[in-house]
């Protein structure tokens, strides 16, 4: 891959445009004597634009492209009938996926009122999207083959606003929406699958100097999947997560922390409903010169209710998984900090930022 870019820089803005050429070869030999040899040559343009209204307000635009070549397994013209009811074969005529991505983001922070605003739109479009074509016979024998379709797209919009009531109390509100459309083929019939995800979150932070801090947060999401070919297979999922995090200073070198999550999974399609309370707590002691060392004793999954849950919908199936995760356990850990931050209160603050 080889390319070039031209960059222009002014006092408040800069932008660049460029392109690169990508050249790739896929070759493979298979045990049945067949072989695959494909060459792919593509031009990939890109563009960037950044505008700084001030040190605390900026607008950014990015456009880039890339190629995802089909794998050797997808190209191999070999029939795999290891499972007689699920037969698969490759497609030596597959073309690479060509991806376009556009990102537009705006950021503003007011140093006087301590308010911040993040908002943006991210979009992508895939030409020659590779999907799986499935053919199902009357005897329920399924044959799968990768094929190129006319394209798929994805659109994401998010807004996050934070503001401070006073030095001790702060709120953050966020919303997001994700839309995407993909194409599937069943018995040679092409159909669209439209997915929509609406989400939001609300967070409250309380900080009492270096002695105590508390975070309360709620996250909500509504996922909808709509099928053109069969409305009876439409899916609607609701997920809710409620979080409580707190840290209490027991002295100059000791902290007690707790993290509680209450998760609700709900499906309107299958009447599935599951509530999961998760609770972890720990006691930390800072040791060594400059409080560089942290010795921590933790109890993870105190209520012994940890469970992994996934819900998926495919072109001709609905799948729900419940995976028993690691149960209640105790852990002793030691962490040595290489940073220049030596105060335990500042160290705990950095950990909270990483978790969020």
Domain count, the chain: 1
pLDDT in tens, 291-335: 888 899 999 988 888 777 776 665 556 666 777 677 888 999 998
Residue 70 CB burial class (10 angstroms; 0-12, 13-18, ≥19): buried
> Strand 130-136 to strand 169-186: parallel, antiparallel, or no bridges (unpaired)?
parallel
pLDDT in tens, 160-180: 999 999 989 999 999 999 999
Q: Which residue did the predictor score with more confidence, 55 or 291?
A: 55
Which of 174, 177, 165, 182 is CA-nearest to residue 218?
A: 174
When pLDDT is averaged across residues 117-141 and rounded to a whole number, the result is 93
Distances (CA, A) of 199 to 51, 173, 262, 328: 29, 11, 17, 31
pLDDT-derived band of residue 35, with 50, 70 and 90 as boundaries?
confident
Domain that holds residue 57: 2-355
pLDDT for position 145 = 93
**How much of the chain, in percent, has pLDDT values that exceed 70?**
90
Cβ atoms of 183 and 152 closer than 8 Å: yes
When pLDDT is averaged across residues 276-301 and rounded to a whole number, the result is 89
Residue 321 CB burial class (10 angstroms; 0-12, 13-18, ≥19): exposed
Calpha distance 12→98 (Å, rounded): 33
Q: What is the CATH number of the domain that holds 307?
A: 2.40.170
Calpha distance 10→8 (Å, rounded): 7
Range picked from 45-54, 273-282, 302-311, 321-330 for highest mean pLDDT: 45-54
Strand stretches in 111-253, DSSP E: 115-127, 130-136, 142-148, 152-164, 169-186, 189-208, 212-227, 235-249
Structure tokens at 183: 């194409």
Min mean pLDDT across 61-70, 277-286, 322-331 is at 322-331
Structure tokens at 305: 């209710």
pLDDT in tens, 9-25: 999 999 999 999 988 88
Calpha distance 131→152 (Å, rounded): 10
pLDDT-derived band of residue 353, with 50, 70 and 90 as boundaries?
very low
């Amino acid at each position: 891959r080889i390319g070039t870019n031209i960059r222009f820089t002014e006092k408040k803005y800069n932008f660049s445009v460029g392109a690169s050429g990508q050249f790739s070869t896929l070759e493979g030999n298979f045990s049945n004597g067949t072989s695959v040899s494909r060459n792919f040559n593509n031009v990939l343009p890109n563009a960037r634009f950044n505008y700084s209204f001030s040190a605390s307000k900026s607008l950014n635009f990015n456009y880039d492209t890339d190629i995802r070549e089909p794998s050797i397994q997808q190209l191999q013209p070999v029939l795999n009938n290891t499972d007689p009811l699920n037969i698969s074969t490759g497609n030596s005529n597959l073309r690479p996926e060509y991806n376009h991505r556009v990102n537009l983001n705006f950021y503003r922070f007011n140093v006087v009122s301590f308010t911040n605003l993040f908002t943006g739109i991210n979009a992508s479009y895939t030409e020659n999207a590779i999907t799986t074509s499935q053919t199902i016979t009357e005897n329920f024998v399924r044959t799968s083959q990768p094929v190129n379709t006319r394209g798929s797209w994805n659109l994401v919009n998010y807004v996050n606003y934070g503001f401070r009531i006073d030095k001790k109390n702060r709120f953050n509100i966020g919303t997001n929406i994700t839309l995407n459309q993909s194409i599937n083929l069943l018995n040679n019939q092409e159909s669209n699958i439209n997915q929509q995800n609406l989400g939001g979150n609300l967070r409250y932070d309380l900080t009492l100097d270096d002695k105590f801090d508390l975070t309360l947060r709620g996250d909500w999401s509504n996922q909808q999947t709509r099928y053109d070919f069969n409305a009876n297979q439409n899916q609607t999922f609701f997920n809710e997560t409620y979080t409580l995090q707190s840290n209490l200073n027991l002295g100059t070198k000791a902290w007690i922390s707790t993290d509680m999550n209450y998760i609700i999974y709900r499906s309107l399609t299958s009447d599935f409903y599951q509530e999961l309370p998760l609770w972890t707590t720990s006691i930390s002691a800072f040791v060594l010169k400059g409080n560089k060392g942290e010795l921590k004793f933790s109890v993870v999954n105190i209520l012994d209710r940890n469970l992994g849950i996934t819900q998926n919908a495919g072109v001709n199936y609905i799948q729900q998984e419940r995976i028993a995760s690691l149960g209640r356990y105790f852990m002793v850990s030691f962490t040595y900090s290489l940073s220049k931050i030596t105060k335990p209160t500042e160290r705990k603050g950095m950990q909270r930022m990483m978790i969020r």
